[in-house]
Structure 1
Amino acid sequence: MTEKPVALIVLAAGQGSRMQSDLPKVLHRLGGVPLVGHALAAGRMLDPAQVVVVAGHGADAVKKAVGKLEPEARIALQQEQLGTAHAVTQALPLLQGFEGRVIVLYGDTPFIGPETLAMLAAHPSDVVVLGFEADDPGRYGRLVTGPDGLERIVEYKDADAATRAIRLVNSGVLAADAATLREFLPKIGNDNAAGEYYLTDLPGLARAAGLRVDVVTCDEAETLGINTRTELARAEAAFQTRARAQALEDGVTLSDPATVWFALDTVIGRDAIIGQNVVFGPGVTVESGAEILPFCHLEGCHVSAGATVGPFARLRPGAELAGDVHVGNFVEIKNSVLDEGVKVGHLTYLGDAHIGEATNIGAGTVTCNYDGVAKHRTEIGAHAFIGSDTMLVAPVRVGARAMTGSGSVITQDVPDEALALARAKQVNKPGLAARLMQALRQKKG
């Protein structure tokens, strides 16, 4: 960590018209979470004292999303998008009394890593600009450096041939002390073709006042910004490639890496085995030694060591699997705890339930947890046996070492060690099947 406290300002006010979407650009998903979540996650590694997100277009939706991603973050409103310096100015009142280092990030630039942010936070200069060596500098602003640090930022349209040959370019990310921002932001003008206030003017004003201005560099891939659907797709591919490589490096077996999809916060322990065509949504933890078989979808769940899931299983938010649990094909589990050694072989839905250890759930079992208005819980004790095609109408409890007969509809609690049978008595009508089929054929003609 740095000696100074750190605050983050994340600019997330733009509409992103090139996305051709009603959704604010920073809310388009990458790695299972909104783009702005990546900037917040990287900044979180600095343990910031304060986080301010500047919202504008779709501010209510951005505020709601940020509230889930970073509950302690505060929202500043930029009602008119008048440039990056104007956006940062809207955030400053929410940093009143803060005297540390402020890092300005962009909600549509998801790959800047915590190590790069740490360099910006710890750098001793008054103002620090993040730059990168571009393979194709294109129309980026050039960073002209000298013995005394960053001399100036030259926009492409204003650069001569020699300056355009410079490959060190500006990412837009900047770090400065809060006092420096308060002093120089009001001095930035809008005498330009767009009539906007640009944060890139701040380093020049600070240098002219005798402050030290420097450049920190990162890999070009970290600075990738998202402006179009095509760029979003490329970013997703880049994110998944990195996530797969990291999982393999961490000791996870991926049977077919190219078909496994990760979320930003996916956590998988070493020696876990992940089959092909597995999709991890947000909020998944898979412990060491667990196995996820092919064609499974997991989100908001926890899978303990020794558990196996799939193939063709779905774990929804709130699913908690203890050690040595087996969840088989075409099983869906939501908001349910399965204790150690539970077996749910196939064709079953468990929602809002707690299943005791070593219990066996037969095929076709359903916890009927929703009455059209409210959800209700099902409790099943340890070492119970639930017969195939059992309907458990919640709220209901099945005791330890109890059994239900196949095809039962359980509407009342079952005591420990009891057998519950709840189905209509079978009646056989001799010869009726043949007569019925004959009548149907004659009717058909």
Structure 2
Amino acid sequence: MTAHPHAVEKLQALVRIPTVSHRDPARVDTAAFDDFVETLADLFPLLHEHLELTRISTHGLLFRWAGAAAERPVVLMAHLDVVPVEGTWQHDAFAAEVVEHEGEQVIWGRGTLDDKGCLVGICEAVETLLAAGVTPAQDLWLSFGCDEEIMGTAARQAVEELARRGVRPWFVLDEGGAIASEAFPGVGAPVGVVGVTEKGATSIELRVQGRGGHASTPARMGPTARLARAIIRLDRSPMPASLPAPTIELFRRLAPHAALPLRPVLANAARLRPALTRVLLAAGPETAAMTRTTFAITTLSGSPAINVIAATAKAGVNIRVMVGDSVADVLEHVRRAVDDDEVHLDVIEEDAASPVSPVDDDAFRLLETTIGEVFPDAVPAPYVMMAATDSRHFTAICERVYRFAPFRMTKAQRESIHSYDEHLGVQAFLDGITWYRRLIEQVS
């Protein structure tokens, strides 16, 4: 922990700034975002002195570190915004305390995992390399978004800026996977999962309208009851499950590290797709989500008063579109499942799954090699990322878009993202800085 003695303090300082994104611009604390950008400049003076900075959108940052060559530029990504604090936390979400937790020192707070840990890790790696007089072999771009958590426009604008400059990245690396422990039943080794694609994020609203009226004279199948029936029907009608190619490759790589009864099954995953799919569906929500498009009912609205029948009832549905499914297929599935012409389907936003980036490729092998060097106990493997990241926009200018956060994460830590008690181990954070530094050093 001596290689970066002040890195933890830098992360603490930035976690303490509540850069919370909201879809309603009036609710955004722009002063917090201003403070973050200014504090970042204070904490990383060499980076700001030697790298060219282009401001993107309101608070997005696009840095260029000129390399010895520019034929194969690399983009490292992170975002500075966080989601609101929910639930009951053991320690204040924005205090960024370093505490003892389960036998190790951890940094507690919103954004430690998603995604200020990556942002500070990248910046610290660059800062120390600059201090050592290093010039990267290729141009290095740092793209830090400011509205990732609301699926905003900053990343898209960064892509437009790079395209305007004629930049075609060799590869792009954003948040996503991790050195994940307890990731797969029967596999004891941690897995360095690298997202080679991500599910599409599509949101719809189910809407039912009616006359409304006084609650003392309810009619059968009013808007709220009809909406409730639609929700139950959709919940009971999952999309078909399957295993895409990245998941098959993941299992092939895990096979030598699995418990003996599982080894032949995983090694022959391509031939045993139906059986493996059933196993994943039964193993819990994290693995089940690897097999199909998912529907999550997230928001509900109805009557403004308990004694008033709703004139309009709405339910928000967040859909994660699986590789191989189209948005059109998914919307048609919803209509068939609900099977009610009185339930209107409004598309709020739509995004298909991202193209699959290559695994048998020098860029992916560089990520693998660096994982093996810094985390020798981990099994590097591709996977389909469940969540959406800013990197999906970069597929417009790059065919090698990967998603990996170089931090050890337990299952509990992964579950804390967008939830409560988010925290990052101090040693895990410092190892992540080392990983970013070694990656930059080995780009050629």
Q: TM-score, normalised by structure 1?
A: 0.25
Structure with bigger gyration radius: 1
TM-score (norm 2): 0.25
Q: Which has the higher helix share?
A: 2
Return the structure number with greater relative CO, CA threshold 8 A, min gap 6. Answer: 2
